[in-house]
Structure 1
Amino acid sequence: MLTLREATIADSPRIGVIGRDSFGPTLSRVLFPAHLHHRALTDSATEEVEWRAARNIRRMKDGKKTFVVVDRLEDGSEHIVGYAQWETPDSLPATTDRKTPDETEVDVLPPSLDQDALKEAFKLMEEVTERILGKEGHSQMWYLMILGVDPGQKRRGIGKMLVKHGLEQAAREKRDAFLIATPEGKYLYSLLGFEQMGEEILLGHVPHYAMLWKRPREEGEVLN
């Protein structure tokens, strides 16, 4: 039985595993390239899990809304099978002159991580976001930072549960939503009402897509 709940710090190791396994065929190949595997203090797969787990903890402490879907097993235990993390207007710095810290500077980066590739990916996403949404970017929206589903648990509606939950909360706050999708996620987001904005983006030769969801407007409300 699948249920959705808020994540806890204790969920972070499992979130790290799902993040690594979800993005292994795409962005992980760029961020943890084979030619840097020899630098790992343990091994690159373990370092990626630990990096993703630590980043999740830091983001949660920064107020990023994080949810997990768990599979309730027959013995009463639970197994996390997917997660979503959102940046919302209330999780951003209180004043406009305080810029959100650069994640490449505040996180401990493992030796097998290509730091230049990571910085380039963040820079490109920021540029694309500003080009599409303007200088405010997604600061007034719900921004889906990351969605990960256990590859062995696909086709169970896990990703859909997580995204719909976030969109329902965004709608209650009268907010739109924004994300940058991988090729694997684009179809799901399209089904849930996101529309591609602009041309595809290449992050380390992997195509990504900026996508915008506009909440249902009330009668007489102007649709911007």
Structure 2
Amino acid sequence: MYLREARLSDMQTVGRIGARAFIDDPLFNAVEPGRYTYYEDYEAGWVRRVREKALKPEARIVLAVDEETKEITGFAVWVREGDDPAAYRWRNEAGILKRIEFKLLTIEGRITTLFSPKSRSEDPAALARLDEATEQATTGTWSQEGRKIRWHLHILGVDPSWRRRGVGRLLVSWGMKNGAKEGVICSLESSPTGRALYEKLGFKAIDVWAPFEGFKEEFENITAPMMVWQPGAAKGNGVAKAKTENGIAIEDGSVNGARKSNDME
């Protein structure tokens, strides 16, 4: 198994993996209640979201790839938050082309929203509430002293057929190695099934995220621990030894922990 950065041409596959990986996640009971009936709409929404993430200069979508078959087995969306020099380097590294593509995609998305049928799988009110809760977490827990500058794991998706084979651990280790190199924390909101993995890797719960509190009573029990990993915990926590597409082992603290792709198409 090796890691590489995603290309835009990977987004269809990445979106499909995300759709399969999260089909039974409690969060999607709220935001995508029609996902089983209108699976194509649900999957298309995933493809759209990961494309939007891929073009943000502060984001990196890292893929785990099987060495023999070249099959993409999972993905992680890592975002470098903060206003420190390292954060600026990551954003600038993305290049002007990526920023232009993001602008064009934003315009395309607005046109699509105006003229395309709405997704039949989504609950717009629940999605709006989720966006609001995400912003509250950013300006609340994640804005506190020592937490603004960080690598944040937005999404970790492993193809169901590849679960329990170390794919998730490998993808999480990419952000942890960069956090160790830069001396910054890693953060995330964990799904119920992911918490055990994160705890094994040294993440600690610091708060609880309740995105639908006060929204609908039936969804108020959907919560997620907000977790932090400190760079000093890098040794002895079982971080996976990954390698890049060219077979070079990723050392702790490597900021090039996945082979970069200049081909965003």
Output one character per residue of 1:86-129: Cα deviation in whole Å (capped at 9) or x when no partner: 11133679xxxxxxxxx9x9695624211211121222233234
Q: What amino acid is aligned across from residue 126 of structure 2 in structure 1?
A: A
Aligned partners of 1:87 and 1:144 also within 8 Å: yes
Q: What is the TM-score with the length of structure 2 in the denominator? A: 0.66
1:66 counterpart (42, 51, 61): 61
Moved more, 196-205 or 17-26: 196-205
1:136/1:88 Cα in 2 relative to 1: closer, same or farther (>3 Å)? Answer: farther
- Aligned ranges 1:164-183 → 2 under 5 Å: 164-183=173-192
Distance 2:12 2:165 in 1: 22
How far did 1:84 drift?
0.1
Aligned partners of 2:15 and 2:46 also within 8 Å: yes
Please state which structure has a larger fraction of its residues in strand. Answer: 1
Q: What is the TM-score with the length of structure 1 in the denominator? A: 0.77
Residue 81 of structure 1 corresponds to: 73
Distance 2:145 2:6 in 1: 28
Moved more, 203-212 or 190-199: 203-212
Distance 2:49 2:145 in 1: 24
1:11/1:131 Cα in 2 relative to 1: closer, same or farther (>3 Å)? Answer: same
1:32 aligns with 2:32: yes
SS of equivalent residue, structure 1 residue 216:
helix
- Aligned ranges 1:77-116 → 2 under 5 Å: 77-89=69-81, 90=87, 108=113, 110-116=119-125
Q: What RMSD over aligned residues (CA atoms) do the two structures have, in Å? A: 2.9
How far did 1:82 drift?
0.4
- Aligned ranges 1:37-52 → 2 under 5 Å: 44-52=38-46
Distance 1:199 1:58 in 2: 27
1:21/1:47 Cα in 2 relative to 1: closer, same or farther (>3 Å)? Answer: same
User: What are the ranges of 5 or more consecutive residues in structure 1 without an aligned counterpart?
Assistant: 38-42, 94-102, 218-224
Residue 248 of structure 2 corresponds to: none
Aligned partners of 2:130 and 2:211 also within 8 Å: no
- Aligned ranges 1:62-211 → 2 under 5 Å: 62-63=56-57, 64-73=59-68, 77-89=69-81, 90=87, 108=113, 110-134=119-143, 139-199=148-208, 201=210, 203=212, 204=219, 205-211=221-227
Aligned partners of 1:129 and 1:210 also within 8 Å: no
Distance 2:147 2:9 in 1: 29
The percentage of aligned residue pairs carrying the same residue is 27
Aligned partners of 1:84 and 1:146 also within 8 Å: yes
Residue 13 of structure 1 corresponds to: 12
Distance 2:51 2:148 in 1: 21
User: What are the ranges of 5 or more consecutive residues in structure 2 without an aligned counterpart?
Assistant: 82-86, 93-105, 213-218, 234-265
Distance 1:67 1:4 in 2: 7
Q: RCO (CA 8 Å, sep 6+): is it higher in 1 or 2?
A: 2
Aligned partners of 2:142 and 2:148 also within 8 Å: no
How far did 1:138 drift?
5.2
Aligned length: 198
